[in-house]
Amino acid sequence: SNKSLAQGQVAVYTPELRQASVENLKIENQLRNAIESSGLSLVYQPIFDRNKRLNKLEALLRWSHPELGPISPARFIPIAEETGLIREIGDWVITEACRQLKIWKTSGLNVVPVAINLSGHQLSDYSLVDKINRNCKLHGIEPELLNLEVTESVLMEQMETGKSILEDLTKEGFTIAIDDFGTGYSSLAYLNQFPASILKIDRTFVNDIDNKADTRVLDSIIQLANSLDMQMVAEGIETEQQLDYLMASGCQFYQGFLLAKPLPANCLQPYLSPDEINHLELSPYAI
């Protein structure tokens, strides 16, 4: 599609573009197969509090293309959005996260909430509320155990419908997080009209800490979120220096490869163990 072309611009069909669209087609076809043949999976990245205890898990999609190998969701989700495949994928993620939560619950582990990512498509469809509710009831999952992440840019695209869907979900007891905050050029004052109680600071701002660059934007995000009584999760923490800075600045929750990478469900038992363990000391370099 030429959606990104401004009026009056001409699409030049270069070999590179052709190559890219051939690859997109390959991805689309195989993605269709993957949905039908359980080729998708979820990994879970731990998020910790300032006492270094596990606070929640973020569910992240994984898919391996038969020829192209593992493909990042950042690459295939936009294709799934364009082709409508995201509906089925989104439904699958909801069901799978609930199924996994039920497994953890019934095996006597210390269960923490799981956060799933919602796409723009899902946030424009009122049936989402019912789907999430139904899946939770079916698996015996309390709404407190499911958090929903929506990126700042999706919120800006789905102002009316998105807002009312999120309001309904909040009434049901689900917690909403604004994802990738700071990348969408909107103001937090504006986003405050959405019923989100968690702000996830995009990792570009976390990166600034090490570059000794300007941390004033990061500092003001943290201050503003605090004054709006929102909880904050910093994404993409890779160094001790970043973690120290964020802890000292009043950000309460931490996510990143330094602490733990996204892990398959069966590798998370140690983090969910009822025993007293300093979770942060556990194999940060696993997988």
Q: Of the candidates 244, 238, 190, 200, which has an alpha carbon nearest to the alpha carbon of residue 222?
A: 200
Give Cβ neighbours of residue 173 (< 8 Å, ≥ 6 apart).
Answer: 142, 143, 144
- How many CA atoms, within 13 angstroms, populate the side-chain half-sphere of residue 261? 8
Give Cβ neighbours of residue 60 (< 8 Å, ≥ 6 apart).
Answer: 42, 43, 44, 45, 73, 117, 262
Buried b (16+ CB within 10 A) or exposed e, 232-249: bbbbbbeeeebbebbeeb
Residue 152 binds Mg ion (CB under 5 A): no
Smallest distance from the beta carbon of 138 to Mg ion, in angstroms? 24
Smallest distance from the beta carbon of 8 to ligand C2E, in angstroms? 33
Phi, psi of 181 (to 5 degrees): -65, 140
Candidates 136, 222, 262, 272; binder of ligand C2E (CB under 6 A) is 262
Q: Which does 72 bind (CB under 5 to 8 A by kind): ligand C2E, Mg ion, none?
A: ligand C2E
Q: Which is nearer to ligand C2E, 45 or 252 (CB)?
A: 45
Smallest distance from the beta carbon of 198 to ligand C2E, in angstroms? 12
**Count of residues engaged in binding ligand C2E, rule: CB under 6 A:** 22
Smallest distance from the beta carbon of 19 to Mg ion, in angstroms? 26
The contact set with Mg ion (CB under 5 A) reads 117, 149, 179-180, 235
The contact set with ligand C2E (CB under 6 A) reads 45, 60-61, 72-74, 77, 93, 117-119, 149, 179-180, 235-238, 255-257, 262
